[in-house]
Structure 1
Amino acid sequence: MNRLLDSRRPRRHWLARAGLLLGAAALGGCASPSVDDLADQRPALDLRAYFNGRLRGHGIVTDRDGAVIQRFTVEMVGRWDGERGTLEEDFLHHDGRRERRVWQLEHLGAGRWRGRAGDVIGEALGRTAGNALHWNYTLRVTTDGGRQWDLQLEDWMFLVDDQVLLNRAVMRKFGLRVGEVLLSMRRLDVGER
């Protein structure tokens, strides 16, 4: 019997090592791409230029399984004074619920950005490079039952052309992915305002 156990020992060690290697590879695969990877992408995203004036967006919210749980439109107005700006967002959800968020944005130089809003806990911090913005923040969300949840958002924005910007935000709670927001924004020309 001892000989049988001893003959299995090398196999167990190999399986344990393989499991560790697979686990390390899986964790490495979870790492986010860097905004610097997009530095050569054009057109370049300048938040002061894009979020200046009126914009309209259409989006969805999905749960952790990818099922659509909310649809919405958002009307936005951005104004700037040098490196500081205000972005007013007025949301209309498909169930008739309205929501308003007002961002205070600040360019910190070298593509670094800071944002604050009433339902953002602390600050949103991020960077732009090429056609993209990547930032992270904690958003306080009130559920239909009146409970408040603090969700961590990893937010990516990609400028497609001078008019269209795509936004994808992954929401996490306790480090676990709980949903996603997908949003398409478009700058409004004078005739569309």
Structure 2
Amino acid sequence: MNKVFLLISVLLLSGCQSAVQSDEYQSMTPKIDVYNFFDGRVHAWGIVQNRNGELVQRFKVDINGSVDGDGRLVLDERFNYGYGDGVKHRVWTISKSGNGYIGSAPDIATTAMGTIYGNALRWQYEMDLPVDDTTYRVVFDDWMWAFDNCSLMNRSYIKKFGFVVAEVTIFMKNMDSKRGCTGGLH
């Protein structure tokens, strides 16, 4: 009985932790700058895997970013799915806040909170996610890492009751030729 209780306790505690630790990114460069990276055209592509690692979505995203008159970053995202289905269009409005950012979008249930850790950004929010005929409130725990001023990688952990139920991997490329962002990684 004690072994079963111990095993359940360990599983519950490990399910509540993020798979990524923030402190190790504080001194890494280049420092992530969300406003700079997303200003202009960004092309992204990625996959969604369920908790068993099976592919459930493959997609591309065209993002047009601009700073509005109030100093907010507006990201207009258009999704195209090669496998699976999901949201077709989302518009994020993001503002600077202390050592990070806050953001919102019409289909996001809570205010998104972002904290900068050197070359990484942790972006967290809740979303009502439709799956078949049911909608589930899930937590997104996104980690973005800057490779350079043109390339970014995002790893999202989708959680329900503190357990990871799916993972999203996205690669993003700023397409601004003025800063030399054409072709592959720099």
Tell me which interval the TM-score lies in, with the shorter structure as reference length: 0.7 to 0.9
Aligned pair partner of 1:31 in 17, 21, 26: 17
- SS where residue 121 of structure 1 aligns? coil
**Percentage identity across paired residues of the two chains:** 33
Q: Provide the rounded CA distance (Å) in 1 between the counterparts of 2:105 and 2:97.
A: 17
Query: CA 1:188/1:134 → structure 2, altered by over 3 Å: closer, same or farther?
Result: same
Which of 1 and 2 has greater Rg? 1
- Cα pair 2:22 2:117 within 8 Å, conserved: yes
- Which residue is equivalent to 1:154? 141
Matched residue type, 2:153: L
- Which residue is equivalent to 1:100? 89
Residue 72 of structure 1: CA displacement? Answer: 0.2
Q: Provide the rounded CA distance (Å) in 2 between the counterparts of 1:70 and 1:20.
A: 36
- Which residue is equivalent to 1:176? 163
- Cα pair 2:127 2:140 within 8 Å, conserved: yes
- Which residue is equivalent to 1:135? 123
Matched residue type, 2:175: L
Matched residue type, 1:168: R
What is the alpha-carbon root mean square deviation over aligned residues? Answer: 2.7
TM-score by length of 2: 0.82
Q: Provide the rounded CA distance (Å) in 2 between the counterparts of 1:25 and 1:121.
A: 28
Corresponding pairs, count: 175
- SS where residue 53 of structure 2 aligns? coil
Residue 26 of structure 1: CA displacement? Answer: 8.2
* CA deviation map 1:94-131 (0-9, x unaligned): 1485611100101012x221110111102111201211
- Which residue is equivalent to 1:64? 51
Residue 180 of structure 1: CA displacement? Answer: 0.7
Q: Provide the rounded CA distance (Å) in 1 between the counterparts of 2:83 and 2:2.
A: 51
Q: Provide the rounded CA distance (Å) in 1 between the counterparts of 2:102 and 2:124.
A: 10
Matched residue type, 2:104: R
- Cα pair 2:15 2:164 within 8 Å, conserved: no
Q: Provide the rounded CA distance (Å) in 1 between the counterparts of 2:110 and 2:7.
A: 37
Residue 35 of structure 1: CA displacement? Answer: 2.8
Q: Provide the rounded CA distance (Å) in 2 between the counterparts of 1:29 and 1:129.
A: 22
Matched residue type, 2:174: R
Aligned pair partner of 1:167 in 151, 154, 173: 154
- SS where residue 64 of structure 2 aligns? strand
